[in-house]
Amino acid sequence: MEPLVVLMGVALLAALVALIVVLVRRPAQQREEQRRRDEIAEAQRAAAEILSKAESDAGEIVRKAESVAQTAAQAARRELEEESRGLKHELKELRADLERRETRLAERERRLDEEARRLEERARKLAETDAEVAARRAEADKIEEARREVLERTAGLTAEQAKAELVATIENQAKREAALIVREIENSARQEGEKRARKIVTLAVQRVATEQTAESVVSVLHLPGDEMKGRIIGREGRNIRAFESTTGVNLIIDDTPEAVLLSCFDPVRRETARLTLEKLVLDGRIHPQRIEEAHERSKREVEQLCVRAGEDALVELGITDMHPELITLLGQLRYRTSYGQNVLGHLIESAHIAGMMASELRLDPMLLKRCALLHDIGKALTHEVEGSHALIGAEIARRYGEDEDVVHAIEAHHNEVEVRTIEAVLTQAADAISGSRPGARRESLEAYVKRLERLEEIACSYEGVEKVFAMQAGREVRVMVKPDSVDDIQAQVIARDVAKQVEEELTYPGQIRITVVRESRATEFAR
């Protein structure tokens, strides 16, 4: 019974709990439903507002669109009106242009018609003139025939004979005129050739800058002090004897302070001796063994310098493939001078000139450069071998495999062998140009004296000149005139005339001043 009561109590309790739960949930559901109804109402209000705003915005957009459409329509209407006015204006101009063209065409047609009428009139007149000319020609033929018959009867010659004589006369005259034209052409060609030759020489001289050196057989070596002379001489002169025996150069020790002289005709040997003595002086130890050692070193240095000088000359001229012995001989000419002109510089200058002349004559410039560079190669051995340097140089070139044209140009450049090739002629010309240009070589004493004498002769040839003095090595001429026969104006005239005559007759470097001196004296006697 008790379990049943308990079960019933539990059931009642569960029912009561379920009833309480139901009673509690119902207000919550009501509140949720009320909240949902409120949200729906709020959403409906918001939708109504949005719809109202959308309707308002749509109306505004419609109004703006209508306004824009009206504005665009007005602008399009204005553009159409302006375009229409422009088209009307263009059409008007085109009509006016067409009218002008029609007017010009009408005027041109009128002129063409007038020109056609004039041409017809001219053709008619020409036809009449042709007829008249034909008639006159026929009449002239008749007169010429009659004249010819008269001339034939008078001269006793037929027309063929007269024609032959006339042709011979005209032929002789044509030959004479042709000879005159040929002479003019030759003179013009000669003048043009001289002009181009001067241009070539000028360009070559501008490209080549060679120093002028004085020819000498003596070299001077400066010493640090006079006490070095005693050390060079040595005990009882053994050092100086050993030096001269080893180098082959005479050593001159005189009263010149702090200097000694080395004398020798061979320039390479003299340069070797100079370097040897310079090394001995710098070292301070001078005795026969040291002299021999220094001489060997100096000899090797000079040989290297000669080879380098020859190679530099070949590089400057662009010449390749030459025998080493010829290069060494070319370098030795660096220490050789001829009339004050360095021989190696003379050869390089001649080669440049010959190359330019060959280019102008459309010959091989490298062959001409080679001929001119080697034409004085024999001067490197004239101290060792007897004979002309031209023949010696030709033999050396032939021995070392040079071309026969080069050999012939060398042996013929002083006319010791008859010239047979144009290369030899151009080598002679380049040699003469390089050696004879002003400033290239030192004047000889004879030419210097003759120039001074000629200066005095020119000044003395004028009337009223009393004495003439050539001063300052020919750089100034003092002319003394007689004051009673030459006045001041005449003195100026004499100075100008003498200067002009000197310019025309003499060749000289620089300038020469002509000074005319007229002495004024006042003499009175006291009694």
The CA distances from residue 511 to 476, 477, 508, in Å, are: 9, 11, 7
Work out the mean pLDDT of the chain and round it to a whole number.
80
What mean pLDDT do residues 6-28 have? 69
Q: What is the pLDDT of residue 278?
A: 86
Residue 208, pLDDT above cutoff 70: no
Q: What is the pLDDT of residue 218?
A: 66
Cα angle 21, 25, 26; round to 5: 120
Q: What is the pLDDT of residue 212?
A: 43
Q: What is the pLDDT of residue 213?
A: 42
What mean pLDDT do residues 101-128 have? 88
Residues 280-311 have pLDDT tens digits of 888 878 888 888 888 888 888 888 888 898 88
pLDDT band at 418 (very low <50, low <70, confident <90, very high): confident
What mean pLDDT do residues 67-94 have? 85
pLDDT band at 6 (very low <50, low <70, confident <90, very high): low
Residue 215, pLDDT above cutoff 50: no
Instruction: Tell me what percent of the residues of the chain surpass a pLDDT of 70.
Output: 85
The CA distances from residue 303 to 67, 215, 332, 415, in Å, are: 110, 22, 8, 33
Structural class in CATH, domain 446-518: alpha beta
Q: What CA–CA distance (Å, rounded) separates 221 from 270?
A: 11
pLDDT band at 217 (very low <50, low <70, confident <90, very high): low
Note the pTM of the prediction, 2 decimals.
Answer: 0.46
Residue 214, pLDDT above cutoff 50: no
The dihedral built from the CA positions of residue 129, 131, 135 and 140, taken in this order, carries a sign that is positive
Residues 356-406 have pLDDT tens digits of 888 888 888 899 999 999 988 888 886 677 778 888 889 999 999 888 999
52 Cβ neighbours under 8 A, 6+ residues apart: none
Name the least confident of 264-278, 296-310, 430-444, 480-494: 430-444
Residue 65, pLDDT above cutoff 80: no
Provide the b/e sequence for 191-226 (b: ≥16 CB within 10 Å): eeeeeeeeebbeebbeebebeeeeeeeebebebeee
Residue 265, pLDDT above cutoff 60: yes
User: What are the structural domain ranges in the chain?
Assistant: 218-436, 446-518
Q: Which tokens belong to 156?
A: 């006793």
The CA distances from residue 125 to 72, 117, 120, 121, 128, in Å, are: 78, 12, 9, 6, 5
What mean pLDDT do residues 181-189 have? 79
| CATH architecture entry for 218-436 | Orthogonal Bundle (1.10)
Residue 176, pLDDT above cutoff 60: yes
What mean pLDDT do residues 60-86 have? 83
pLDDT band at 132 (very low <50, low <70, confident <90, very high): confident
> Contact, 310 vs 169, CB < 8 A?
no
Residue 196, pLDDT above cutoff 70: yes
Q: What CA–CA distance (Å, rounded) separates 488 from 391?
A: 61
Q: What CA–CA distance (Å, rounded) separates 50 from 52?
A: 5
Which stretches of 318-360 are DSSP H helices?
324-332, 343-360
Between 208 and 458, residue with greater pLDDT:
458
Residues 451-502 have pLDDT tens digits of 888 888 888 988 888 889 887 667 788 999 988 888 887 888 888 888 888 8
Q: Which tokens belong to 476?
A: 């100034």
Q: What is the pLDDT of residue 408?
A: 92
What mean pLDDT do residues 307-331 have? 88
What does the DSSP assignment read for 387-441?
A: S-HHHHHHHHHHHTT--HHHHHHHHTTTSSS---SHHHHHHHHHHHHHHHSTTSS
Residue 159, pLDDT above cutoff 70: no
Q: What is the pLDDT of residue 371?
A: 92
Q: What is the pLDDT of residue 440?
A: 55
pLDDT band at 75 (very low <50, low <70, confident <90, very high): confident
Q: Considering just the CA atoms, what is the radius of gyration of the chain in Å?
A: 60
Residue whose tokens read 């409906």: 44
What mean pLDDT do residues 436-462 have? 73
Between 119 and 219, residue with greater pLDDT:
119
> Contact, 480 vs 471, CB < 8 A?
no
Matching fold, domains 218-436 and 446-518: no
